[in-house]
C-alpha cells in the first residue's frame, strides 16, 4: 500500500511539525520573559543595592539573539515578513510561477549558506568565552544554525505551494 | 555592486521577503566579486543582532501590542473626540489625535493604523466621510509612530549614526507635533469644502473631556515612563523600554483589567514575531552593508555628492528627494541600514547635526509608510477599511502635502529638531 | 599590488590607532615596492571588535586591530595587558613589549594568530561629573567600564560601582546621570565631546591600553618569506612611530581641555596601585599568563 504509507509519513511529519512549533513558541516566550526579567534586575540592582550585575546585560543579549532567530521562523510561519508582491501579482501566471520557483531556490540557498557558515562560528565559539559570564560563545552562536534551520523549514513550507498556485498568494496584513 | 543593487531590486518586486532579498543579493555579489569565505554571512548576521541597545525594540513592540489589546485605542478615541470632536470634519481630527496618542506608546505604525481604522471607519462610513481619504489620513496618523517617540526606526538610526537614543527621541517630538498640526489643518481646510462632512461636529462638553481624560490617563503613564526615565537620567533607552513593558502590564491587567494572563502568550508571540521581522532585517542588511563597504561605494558616493554642491541646503534637498523615492519602494529599517552609513558622514562633513539629520531621515521614511506602491500604513489602512490600495492611493496627496510641509521645516530650520534635546538634556 | 590585506578596526578614521595603521601601510608599500598593501576599513565598517577578531580566525578579514581587552578573549595570555598600573608610561610599555616580542608572538601563535605589532590606545584616566581628587571621592560612583571582567574588578577594588554599558549610550548616560562618569583616554574624551557632560578629568592613568595588530597564522605562514618579513618590519616600525605619536598628542590635548574649562585633577595614584595589587594574583590563573606577567614586569 504505497498510498497508505505515504499518508502515514505525511501525518507523522505534520505531527512532528506541530510539536516543533509548540516547542519553539514556548522557548521564545521564555526568552522574552528572561530578557525583561534580567533588565529589570539590572535596574533594581543599580538603584536599590548600588551594585551592577555585569552578566545581566550579556545574557539578555544572548537571549535576544536566540529570540530573533527563532522569531524569524515564527514570523515566516504567519507570513509576516515584509515583501512587495503588488507587481508580481499582476504578471502572467507562468511568470509568477517562475519567479516563485526562483525565489524559493535562492532563499533556500541563502538560508543554507548561513546554516553551514555558522557551524564554523560555533566551533570557534567552543574555545572562546564570553566577556562577562565566561561561558562558551558557542551558546549564543548555536542560535544561528538552529534558528536559520527552522526559518528554512518554515520558508519552504510557505513558499513551495506558491509555485503551483501563485494566484492564491495573499500576504497577510501584519497588524 | 551593480549585481547587488540590481539583484536586490529584482528580488524586491518578485514577492520574496525583503529579509531574504537582501541576503540573497549580498550573497550573489560576494560570490561573484570577492574571494571571502561565505562564513562572512553568518558572522555578519550574528553581529547585526547581538546588540544590547537593540533590545529596546522587542520591549517597545510588546508593550505597544499589549496596550492596544488592552483597550487603549478605544479610550484614546474617546479622549480625542472630547478634545477635537467639536471642530469641522471632526472624525478626521479624532483619527489624527488618536494616532498621536498611540504614537507615544508604540514604536511602529502598522498596528496603530489597524487599530484606528478598525475603531473609526465604521463610524466614518455611517457619517458619509470619503472612506478613501479617511484611510489615507488614518495611514498618516499611524505613520506618526515613527517620528513621535518611542520609535523603532529612530533606535536604528541612533545606533547606526552612533548617537544617543534619548536625544534622537526628543528631537522627534516637535517635528511629530508639526506633522500633527499640518495634518489637522489640512483636513480641516478640506472638510470645509466637503458638503457631506462640513457640518459634522459635536458640541464641546467639559464634563465629557474630564471623564475621557481620566479613563485614558493610565495609558499615558507609558510615554511618561519612557521620556521621563530617559531625560531624568534614571534609565538607558533599553531599560526604559523594559520598564515601559512592565508599566503596560500593570495598566492593562491591573487597572483596565481588559487583559487576562491567558491572553499574554498569544500577544507576546505576536510581539516576538513582529520584532523578529525587524531585527532579522537588521541582521541580513549588515551582510549587504558589509559588501557595500568593501566595494568602496560610500567613498564614491561621498566624492560625487561633495563634488556636486558646497551648500548643506542643496545637499539636504538631494537627500530628501533620494529618501522619498527610496521610501516609496522600501521598508524603513533596511533603507536606514543601507543608506545612513553612507549619508551620515557626508552630512557631518557639511556641518549638519547628526540628531537633525536622523530626524530628517526618520520623517522621510515615515512619509514612505504612506506612499504607494509600497507603504505599509497605507496598505493596512486600505485593507482594514476594505478598499483597494489603488483607490486609497488616489487620496494620499492631502496627508502627503501636509507631511512634506513639515519635512521642509525640519530640513531647513535646525531648531525644530534640536531645540528640545538642547533644553532637556 | 599582488598582496592586498584587508585591515579592519573600530576606531574612527584619523584616531591615533588609525594613524598608526596608515603608517604601517606606507611602510609596507615602500618595503615591497608596492607589491603588498593594506586596505584600511576604519570605524567598524567590517564589524565590531568581536567580529573583527573572529573574521581573522575565519579568513574574512586579513588584519585585525582591536583592543587588547577583546583580543585577550582569544589569546588568553594577553589578559596580562588588561591589568591596571602595569607600566608607568607608554615608552616603558613599548620597551617591555619589544624586549619580550618572541614570548608574545608565541603566545599569539598558540591561539592561531600572528602578532604584527602592538600599538598604544593611550593611557586611561577618569572623566566624571563631580571632581575626583583622591580615591576616596570615587566611593559609590557609577563608573562606566568596558565589558571586561578585569576592568570591572579593578573599579570594584577602587570602591566605585563599575557599570558596563555600550559606548554609544555613554554621552547620554553621563549627561542624564545614569552613570556618574567613565574611564577613558584623552583622545576619546576629546573625540566624543565628553567634556561637555563630564567636565572633570582625573589623571590617574589606571590602564596603559594597547591595540595589538594580528593576522591569521595560517594565512601569514602561506605568504612568501619576503612579504612576511616586510609585514613584521613595517609593523614594528609603525608601532614605534605610533606610540611616540600618542605621547606627542597627550600634552596639547590636555591644554585644549583646560582651555575648554575642564577641571583637571591629579589624585595620588599610590592608593589605586595598592588596591590593584590583589588583582595581579586573582586575575592571572594560567601558567602562560604568569610567565608573561613575570617577563613584562621584571
Ligand atoms: Na512612537
Ligand atoms: Na512607500
Q: Give tens-digit pLDDT for A55-72.
A: 888 899 999 999 999 999
Which grid cell sits at B201?
Answer: 461636529
B370 CA to middle of ligand 2, Å? 6
- How far does residue C276's CA lie from ligand 1's centre (Å)? 46
Rounded to the nearest 10 degrees, the angle between the axes of helix B354-368 and helix B165-193 is: 40
Average pLDDT over residues C275-296: 92
The distance of A115 to chain C (nearest Cα, Å) reads: 15
Q: B45 and chain A: CB distance < 8 Å anywhere?
A: yes
d(CA B165, CA B59): 15
What per-residue confidence (pLDDT) applies to B15? 74
Radius of gyration in angstroms for the set of CA atoms belonging to chain C, rounded to a whole number: 19
> Which ligand has the nearest atom to the CA of B111?
1
CA–CA dist B355, B367 (Å, integer): 18
* DSSP at B195: T
ipTM over 0.90: no
Q: Can you spell out the DSSP letters for chain C? A: --EEEEEE--SPTTSHHHHHHHHHHHHHHHHTTTSEEEEEE-TTTT--HHHHHHHHHHTS-SEEE--HHHHTTTSGGGGGGGSTT--SSHHHHHHHHHHTHHHHHHHHHHTTEEEEEEEEEEEEEEEESS---SGGGGTT-EEE--S-HHHHHHHHHTT-EE----HHHHHHHHHHTSSSEEEEEHHHHHHTTGGGT--EEEEEEEEEEEEEEEEEHHHHHTS-HHHHHHHHHHHHHHHHHHHHHHHHHHHHHHHHHHHTT-EEE---SHHHHHHHHHHHHHH--SHHHHHHHHHHH-
How many angstroms away from the CA of C275 is the closest CA of chain A?
19
Query: Mean pLDDT across the stretch C254-279?
Result: 94
Residue B203 to residue B212: CA distance in whole angstroms: 15
A132 CB neighbours in chain C (<8 A) are 147, 149, 152, 164
Best A86, A110, A146, A167 residue to mutate vs chain B (most B CBs within 10 Å): A110
Contact with chain B for residue C58, Cβ under 8 A: yes
Distance CA C220, CA C222 (A): 5
Identify the residue whose cell numbers are 524559493.
Answer: A104
DSSP state of B87: S
DSSP state of B372: S
Q: How many alpha carbons fall within 13 Å on the CB side of residue C80?
A: 23
Query: What spacing in Å lies between the alpha carbon of C166 and ligand 1's midpoint?
Result: 23
Between the alpha carbon of residue B126 and those of residues A123, B74, B129, B140, the distances in Å are: 64, 18, 8, 22
What are the residues whose beta carbon lies below 5 Å from ligand 2 (ion)? B 327-328, 368, 371, 374-375
Cα–Cα distance measured from residue B194 to residue B201, given in angstroms and rounded to the nearest whole number: 13
**Optimal mutation site among A22, A41, A132, A175, interface B, most CBs of chain B within 10 A:** A175
* Residue with the three cell numbers 562577562: A132
Q: Give CA–CA dist A175/B110, Å, rounded.
A: 6
Whether C293 has its CB under 8 Å from any CB of chain B: the answer is no
Rounded distance, CA B245 to CA C152, Å? 29
What's the grid cell of residue C222? 602561506
Residues in chain C: 298
As a whole number, the mean pLDDT across chain A is 85
Q: Which of A165-169, B122-126, C195-199 has the lowest mean pLDDT?
A: A165-169
Rounded CA separation B385/C265 (Å): 66
Report the pLDDT value the prediction gives residue B281, as an integer from 0 to 100.
85
C2 — phi, psi (to 5°)?
A: -75, -30
| Residue C86 C-alpha, separation from nearest chain B C-alpha, in angstroms | 31
Q: Closest to C57 (Cβ–Cβ): which among A51, A58, A124?
A: A124
Q: C142 and A46 in contact by Cβ < 8 A?
A: yes
Q: Select from B37, B46, B425 the Cβ nearest to the Cβ of C176.
A: B425
C147 touches chain B (CB under 8 A): no
Q: What angle do CA B361, B365, B369 make, to 5 degrees?
A: 165
Helices assigned H by DSSP within B194-256: 206-223, 229-231, 237-249
Any B CB within 8 A of A23 CB: no
Tell me which chain A residue has its CA closest to the CA of residue C145. A54
Closest CA to B37 of C36, A116, C38: A116
Q: Which of C46, C60, C176 sits opposite B231 (nearest CB)?
A: C176
| pLDDT on residue C95 | 94
CB contact under 8 A, B233 and C176: yes
Report how far residue B38's alpha carbon sits from residue B22's, in angstroms, rounded to the nearest whole number. Answer: 15
What letter would DSSP give residue A129?
Answer: B
* Contact between B233 and C45 using a beta-carbon 8 Å cutoff: no
Bridge partners, residue B1, by sequence = none
C59 min Cα distance to partner chain B (Å): 7
- In chain C, the residue whose alpha carbon lies closest to the alpha carbon of A56 is C164
CB contact under 8 A, A61 and B242: no
C-alpha span between B218 and B229 (Å, rounded): 16
Q: Which residue of C has its CA nearest to B34?
A: C60
Q: Report, as an integer, the average pLDDT of C239-263.
A: 94
Q: Is the pLDDT of residue C225 over 60?
A: yes
How many C-beta atoms lie closer than 10 Å to residue B209's C-beta?
16
CA of B22 to the centre of ligand 2 (A): 18
Q: How far is CA A69 from CA A72, A73, B52, B258, C294, in A?
A: 5, 7, 15, 31, 45
Q: Nearest CA of chain B to the CA of C257: how many Å?
A: 22
Nearest-angstrom CA–CA distance, C25 and C3: 12
How many Cα atoms occupy the beta-carbon half-sphere of B254 within 13 Å?
8
Task: Give C164's contacts in chain A (Cβ within 8 Å).
Answer: 52, 54, 57, 132
Distances (CA, A) of A7 to A1, A4, A156, B186, C172: 10, 5, 20, 61, 61
How many residues comprise chain A?
175
B151 three-state secondary structure? coil
CB-closest option in B18, B50, B331 to A140:
B50
Q: Do the strands C142-144 and C263-265 form a parallel or antiparallel pair, or are they unpaired?
A: unpaired
Quote the minimal CA–CA distance from B221 to chain C in Å: 20
Q: Which residue has the cell 556618574?
A: C180
Give, for B140, the enclosing helix (H) or strand (E). helix B131-143
Task: Kindly tell me if the per-residue pLDDT of A167 is higher than 60.
Answer: no
Q: According to the model, what pLDDT value does residue A169 have?
A: 42
Smallest-distance ligand from the CA of B146: 1
The string of DSSP letters for B12-43 reads: HHTT--HHHHHHHHHHHHHHHH----THHHHH
The per-residue pLDDT for C212 is 96
The pLDDT, as a whole number, for residue A1 is 45
- Given this model, what pLDDT does residue C244 score? 96
- A62 and C CB contact within 8 Å: no
pLDDT interval class at A3 (50, 70, 90): low
> Which three-class secondary structure state does DSSP give residue A136?
strand
Rounding to the nearest 10 degrees, give the CA dihedral for residues A57, B272, B27, A154. Answer: 140
Q: Which residues contact A62 (CB under 8 A, 6 or more apart)?
A: A130, A139, A140, A143, B50
Residue A32 is nearest to which of B21, B51, B58, comparing CB atoms? Answer: B58
Low-confidence ranges of chain B (pLDDT < 50): none
Residues in chain B within 8 Å Cβ distance of C58:
37, 39-40, 43
Q: A52: which chain C residues are within 8 Å (Cβ-Cβ)?
A: 142, 161-164
What global pTM score does this model have?
A: 0.84
Q: Strand C200-216 relative to strand C63-65: parallel, antiparallel, unpaired?
A: antiparallel
Residues in B touching C173 (Cβ below 8 Å)? 233, 236
Q: Are C174 and C197 in contact (CB under 8 A)?
A: yes
CB contact under 8 A, B293 and C45: yes
What's B52's DSSP letter?
Answer: T
Longest distance between any two alpha carbons in chain B, whole Å: 72
Per CB-CB distance under 8 Å, the chain A contacts of C165 are 57
How far, in Å, from the CA of B105 to the mean position of ligand 1?
Answer: 6
Q: What is the mean pLDDT of residues C4-16?
A: 88
CB C161 within 8 A of CB A48: no
Q: In chain B, which residues touch C (CB < 8 A)?
A: 36-37, 39-40, 43-44, 46-47, 51-53, 158-159, 162-167, 230-237, 286, 290, 293-294, 341, 425
The SS3 of residue B119 is helix
Specify the residue for cell string 583637571.
Answer: C264
> How close C177 comes to chain B (CA, Å)?
5
Yes or no: say if B53 and C169 are a contact pair by the CB < 8 Å rule: yes
Neighbour tally for C96: CB within 10 Å: 18
Could you list which residues have their CB under 5 Å from ion ligand 1? B 103, 145, 148, 151
Cα gap B326→B335, rounded to integer Å = 7
CA distance B396 to A43: 45
> How many A-B residue pairs are in contact by the CB < 8 A criterion?
208
pLDDT of residue A4: 60
Of residues A57, A127, A129, nearest to C164 (C-beta)? A57
Closest by CA to B421, choosing from B178, B177, B231, is: B231
Amino acid at each position: 500500500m504505497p498510498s497508505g504509507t505515504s499518508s502515514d509519513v505525511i501525518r507523522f511529519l505534520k505531527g512532528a511539525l506541530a510539536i516543533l512549533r509548540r516547542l519553539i513558541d514556548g522557548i521564545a516566550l521564555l526568552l522574552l520573559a528572561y530578557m525583561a526579567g534580567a533588565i529589570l534586575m539590572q535596574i533594581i540592582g543599580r538603584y536599590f543595592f548600588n551594585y551592577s550585575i555585569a552578566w545581566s546585560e550579556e545574557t539578555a543579549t544572548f537571549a535576544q539573539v536566540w529570540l530573533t532567530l527563532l522569531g524569524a521562523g515564527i514570523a515566516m510561519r504567519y507570513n509576516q515578513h515584509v515583501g512587495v508582491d503588488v507587481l508580481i501579482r499582476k504578471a502572467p501566471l507562468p511568470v509568477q510561477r517562475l519567479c516563485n520557483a526562483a525565489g524559493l531556490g535562492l532563499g533556500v540557498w541563502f538560508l543554507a549558506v548561513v546554516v553551514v557558515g555558522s557551524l564554523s562560528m560555533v566551533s570557534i565559539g567552543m574555545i572562546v568565552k564570553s566577556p562577562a559570564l565566561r561561558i562558551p560563545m558557542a551558546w549564543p552562536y548555536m542560535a544561528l544554525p538552529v534558528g536559520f534551520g527552522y526559518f528554512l523549514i518554515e520558508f519552504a513550507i510557505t513558499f513551495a505551494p506558491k509555485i503551483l498556485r501563485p494566484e492564491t498568494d495573499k500576504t497577510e496584513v501584519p497588524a | 555592486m551593480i549585481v547587488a543593487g540590481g539583484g536586490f531590486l529584482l528580488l524586491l518586486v518578485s514577492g520574496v521577503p525583503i529579509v531574504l532579498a537582501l541576503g540573497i543579493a549580498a550573497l550573489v555579489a560576494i560570490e561573484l566579486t570577492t574571494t571571502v569565505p561565505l562564513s562572512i554571512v553568518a558572522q555578519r548576521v550574528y553581529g547585526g543582532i547581538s546588540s544590547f541597545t537593540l533590545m529596546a525594540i522587542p520591549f517597545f513592540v510588546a508593550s505597544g501590542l499589549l496596550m492596544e489589546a488592552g483597550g487603549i485605542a478605544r479610550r484614546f478615541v474617546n479622549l480625542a473626540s472630547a478634545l477635537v470632536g467639536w471642530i469641522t470634519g471632526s472624525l478626521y481630527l479624532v483619527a489624527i489625535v488618536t494616532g498621536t496618542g498611540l504614537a507615544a506608546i508604540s514604536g511602529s505604525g502598522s498596528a496603530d493604523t489597524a487599530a484606528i481604522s478598525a475603531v473609526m471607519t465604521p463610524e466614518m462610513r455611517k457619517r458619509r466621510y470619503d472612506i478613501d481619504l479617511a484611510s489615507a489620513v488614518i495611514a498618516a496618523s499611524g505613520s506618526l509612530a515613527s517620528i513621535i517617540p518611542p520609535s523603532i526606526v529612530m533606535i536604528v538610526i541612533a545606533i547606526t549614526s552612533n548617537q544617543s537614543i534619548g536625544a534622537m527621541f526628543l528631537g522627534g517630538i516637535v517635528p511629530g507635533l508639526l506633522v500633527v498640526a499640518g495634518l489637522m489643518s489640512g483636513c480641516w481646510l478640506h472638510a470645509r469644502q466637503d458638503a457631506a462632512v462640513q457640518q459634522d461636529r459635536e458640541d464641546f462638553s467639559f464634563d465629557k473631556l474630564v471623564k475621557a481624560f481620566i479613563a485614558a490617563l493610565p495609558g499615558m503613564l507609558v510615554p511618561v515612563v519612557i521620556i521621563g526615565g530617559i531625560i531624568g537620567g534614571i534609565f538607558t533607552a533599553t531599560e526604559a523600554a523594559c520598564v515601559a513593558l512592565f508599566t503596560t502590564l500593570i495598566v492593562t491587567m491591573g487597572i483596565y483589567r481588559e487583559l487576562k494572563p491567558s491572553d499574554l502568550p498569544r500577544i507576546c508571540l505576536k510581539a516576538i514575531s513582529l520584532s523578529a521581522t525587524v531585527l532579522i532585517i537588521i541582521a541580513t542588511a549588515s551582510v549587504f552593508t558589509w559588501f557595500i563597504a568593501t566595494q568602496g561605494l560610500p567613498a564614491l558616493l561621498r566624492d560625487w555628492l561633495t563634488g556636486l554642491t558646497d551648500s548643506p541646503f542643496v545637499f539636504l534637498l538631494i537627500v530628501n528627494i533620494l529618501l522619498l523615492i527610496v521610501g516609496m519602494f522600501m521598508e524603513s529599517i533596511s533603507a536606514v541600514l543601507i543608506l545612513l552609513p553612507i549619508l551620515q558622514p557626508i552630512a557631518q562633513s557639511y556641518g549638519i547635526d547628526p540628531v537633525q539629520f536622523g530626524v530628517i531621515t526618520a520623517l522621510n521614511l515615515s512619509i514612505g509608510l504612506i506612499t504607494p506602491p509600497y507603504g505599509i500604513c497605507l496598505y493596512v489602512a486600505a485593507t482594514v477599511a476594505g478598499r483597494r490600495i489603488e483607490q486609497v492611493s488616489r487620496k494620499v496627496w492631502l496627508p502627503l502635502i501636509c507631511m512634506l510641509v513639515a519635512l521642509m521645516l525640519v530640513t531647513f530650520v535646525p531648531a525644530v529638531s534640536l531645540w528640545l534635546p538642547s533644553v532637556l538634556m | 599590488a599582488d598582496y592586498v590585506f584587508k585591515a579592519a578596526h573600530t576606531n574612527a578614521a584619523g584616531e591615533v590607532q588609525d594613524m598608526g595603521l596608515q603608517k604601517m601601510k606606507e611602510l609596507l608599500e615602500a618595503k615591497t615596492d608596492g607589491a603588498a598593501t593594506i586596505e584600511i576599513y576604519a570605524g567598524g565598517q567590517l564589524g565590531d571588535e568581536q567580529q573583527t577578531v573572529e573574521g581573522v580566525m575565519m579568513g574574512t578579514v586579513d588584519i585585525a586591530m582591536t583592543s587588547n581587552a577583546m583580543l585577550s578573549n582569544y589569546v588568553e595570555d594577553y589578559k596580562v595587558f588588561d591589568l591596571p598600573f602595569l607600566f608607568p608610561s607608554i615608552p616603558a610599555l613599548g620597551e617591555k613589549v619589544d624586549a619580550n616580542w618572541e614570548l608574545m608572538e608565541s603566545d599569539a601563535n598558540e591561539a592561531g594568530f600572528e602578532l604584527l605589532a602592538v600599538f598604544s590606545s593611550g593611557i586611561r584616566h577618569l572623566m566624571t561629573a563631580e571632581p575626583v581628587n583622591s580615591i576616596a571621592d570615587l566611593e559609590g560612583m557609577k563608573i562606566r567600564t568596558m565589558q571586561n571582567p578585569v576592568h570591572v574588578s579593578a573599579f570594584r577594588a577602587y570602591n566605585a560601582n563599575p557599570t558596563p554599558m555600550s559606548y554609544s549610550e555613554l554621552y547620554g548616560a553621563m549627561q542624564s546621570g545614569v552613570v556618574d562618569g567613565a574611564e577613558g583616554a584623552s583622545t576619546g574624551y576629546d573625540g566624543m565631546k565628553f567634556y561637555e557632560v563630564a567636565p572633570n578629568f582625573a589623571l590617574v592613568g589606571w590602564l596603559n591600553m594597547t591595540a595589538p595588530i594580528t593576522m591569521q597564522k595560517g594565512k601569514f605562514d602561506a605568504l612568501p618569506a619576503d612579504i612576511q618579513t616586510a609585514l613584521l618590519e613595517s609593523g614594528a616600525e609603525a608601532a614605534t612611530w605610533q606610540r611616540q605619536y600618542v605621547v606627542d598628542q597627550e600634552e596639547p590635548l590636555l591644554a585644549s581641555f583646560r582651555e575648554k574649562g575642564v577641571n583637571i585633577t591629579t589624585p595620588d595614584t599610590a592608593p589605586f596601585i595598592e588596591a590593584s595589587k590583589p588583582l595581579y594574583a586573582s586575575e592571572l590563573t594560567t601558567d602562560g599568563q604568569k610567565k608573561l606577567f613575570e617577563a613584562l614586569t621584571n
